[in-house]
Amino acid sequence: MKLRDADRVGVLGVTGSGKSHFVKHRLVKRSRRCVVWDVHSEYAEPCDMDEVSLDELTREPGLLQAGECKLAVVPEWDDPRELATAFTMFVSELKDSAQSESLLVVVDECGLLRPIADGSLVALAAQSRHWLMPLALVGQRATMLPPGARAQLSTIVSFRQTDPSDIDALAERLGAVRAQRITELKNHRFVTWSQNEKAKEEPEK
Ligand SMILES: Nc1ncnc2c1ncn2[C@@H]1O[C@H](COP(=O)(O)OP(=O)(O)OP(=O)(O)O)[C@@H](O)[C@H]1O
Ligand SMILES: [Mg+2]
């Protein structure tokens, strides 16, 4: 999947359905410049990235401006408030480092940031295009993205979701029939939808 600067993709689905695997292999590995908000410290090794703490990133903001930037940012946190504060600092670093070369930004486990960091998530989704930062927001449920960020998605990649509130939220974009099929997907299978093309299902390999 090739993302343009204006793209904001939501990668959604229940735990273990294959979201992070998709992001690693279809987005991160294919980008020359990428930074991942990597709460579980799971991206550096498979994606050949440098793992840094948020402290290291704030001390050396030039890291985000390197031509071959490949960074997994692993926050240190004990409680959700601390994590949300760290995320707000991360978004501020992104804003300050915006430059003329595209940088793919991945935020894994968006659900952990709610509700305290909703404002930062919405701001990122609303501003990423201006910062030349194609964006991937990853979460276990559609309703785990704040509505203001969900509304900004130009592309949705949905693995299985079953809760009626999530299916309703998806139906607003994909249509009711397609959204209903998401309840029956096997692990590692997904449906895509984009603003510019009709929804389609990943063909069988
Ligand atoms: N297409 C695939 N082919 C083979 N293995 C896969 C595929 N997708 C996912 N897996 C494997 O399934 C497991 C769960 O996948 P993954 O970590 O991507 O789940 P997830 O949706 O990110 O879950 P969580 O929300 O808990 O983070 C991993 O061990 C991963 O390597
Ligand atoms: Mg994951």
Q: SS3 for 39? A: coil
Model confidence band, residue 195 (pLDDT cutoffs 50, 70, 90)? confident
Domain assignment of residue 48, yes or no: yes
For residue 22, tell me if it sits in a domain: yes
CA distance 84 to 86: 5
CA of 23 to the centre of ligand 1 (A): 10
Site residues for ligand 1, CB cut-off 6 Å: 13, 15-21, 140, 188
Do the domain assignments include residue 187? yes
Query: CATH number for the domain including 149?
Result: 3.40.50.300
| pLDDT band, very low/low/confident/very high, at 203 (cuts 50, 70, 90) | low
**Number of structural domains found in the chain:** 1
Confidence at residue 6, expressed as pLDDT on a 0 to 100 scale: 87
Instruction: Note the ligand closest to the C-alpha atom of 21.
Output: 1
Indicate the top mutation candidate among 37, 157, 188 to test ligand 1's pocket, ranked by most ligand atoms within 8 A of CB. Answer: 188
Q: What is the pTM of this model?
A: 0.95
Cα-to-chain-centroid distance, residue 13:
12
Residues 52-93: tens digit of each pLDDT: 999 999 999 899 999 999 999 999 999 999 999 999 999 999
User: Domain range for residue 80?
Assistant: 8-201
- Residue identified by tokens 């003329």 is 100
Six-digit token pair at 135?
A: 């964006």
- 2 is a domain residue: no
Cα 13 to ligand 2 centroid, rounded to whole Å:
9
Find residue 155's DSSP bridge partners: 9, 194
Q: List the structure tokens of 143.
A: 């309703």
The best mutation among 12, 15, 20, 202 to test binding of ligand 1, ranked by most ligand atoms within 8 Å of the C-beta, falls on 20
Spatial contact of 187 and 17, defined as CB atoms under 8 Å apart:
yes
Q: Are 11 and 157 in contact (CB under 8 A)?
A: yes
